[in-house]
A and B are shown apart, each in its own frame.
Chain A
């Protein structure tokens, strides 16, 4: 079974721009979660989607948004980029039923200049 895939793997953007990251979950998984990883704050939860519905959202500003499609693929968008948004963005998928394990993709490294 193919793992979680994320595109693009690397991205360089300028302050004020917006960016869209994509995540394709493991086949059969209906839940997709997004995490931000930075050296200072570590791994922080952004949001989780299940069957196209956002079930949970972390403590991030409204500039961070996401969505999930009927095939369970997910995108996250960051508008009006700030330097502090530079991070590794990780996507994880799971069956989404109960407290099952999450499987992570390789991440998208976003650099904001």
Chain B
């Protein structure tokens, strides 16, 4: 079975600081991994996806994630946080059939000025 674990349910950073949101996966087959962001009272917006083409994936809004097979990790980073980055972030893996996303519990990012 496939699964993802997000370490840290809440991360707080100052504006301008590095953002690091952690995600570890478990999969018996090469995984397809995704990061989504959810703002209050909204649906999920796709930030980026990993499909084995490149280990460093660049997404929208300055976010990127690096796939590390040896560490079974897919951490999300952004060099400099903005107030507008405050939201909940979800890491997900798609199942082998490609029909269902399996989500982590989410990490709430707070950004202070």
Contact = CB atoms under 8 A, between A and B. Distances in A.
Interface of A: 4, 6, 31, 33, 35, 42-45, 48, 50, 55-56, 58, 90, 92, 98-107
Contacts of A104: 36, 43-46
B98 A100 contact: yes
Residue among B32, B46, B99 with the most chain A CB within 10 A?
A: B99
Given A35-B101, A90-B43, A104-B46, 15 more contacts: A4-B43, A42-B104, A43-B103, A45-B102, A48-B99, A56-B95, A90-B44, A92-B44, A99-B32, A99-B51, A101-B34, A102-B101, A104-B43, A106-B42, A106-B43
Interface of chain A: mostly helix, strand, loop or mixed: strand
B3 to A, nearest CB: 12
19 contacts: A31-B99, A33-B100, A42-B103, A42-B106, A43-B106, A44-B103, A45-B100, A45-B101, A55-B97, A58-B100, A90-B44, A92-B101, A99-B32, A99-B98, A100-B98, A101-B46, A105-B43, A107-B42, A107-B43
Interface in B42-73: 42-46, 49, 51
A55 B2 CA distance: 18
Contacts of B51: 99
A58 B46 CA distance: 22
B99 to A, nearest CB: 4
Interface residues of B, number: 24
Contact of B101 (A4, A33, A106): A33
Contacts of B36: 104
B105 interface: yes
- Identify which of B34, B42, B43, B102 gathers the most chain A CB atoms within 10 Å of its CB: B43
A92 B36 CA distance: 12
A55 B101 CA distance: 13
A104 B95 CA distance: 17
Contacts of B43: 4, 6, 90, 104-107
B92 to A, nearest CB: 8
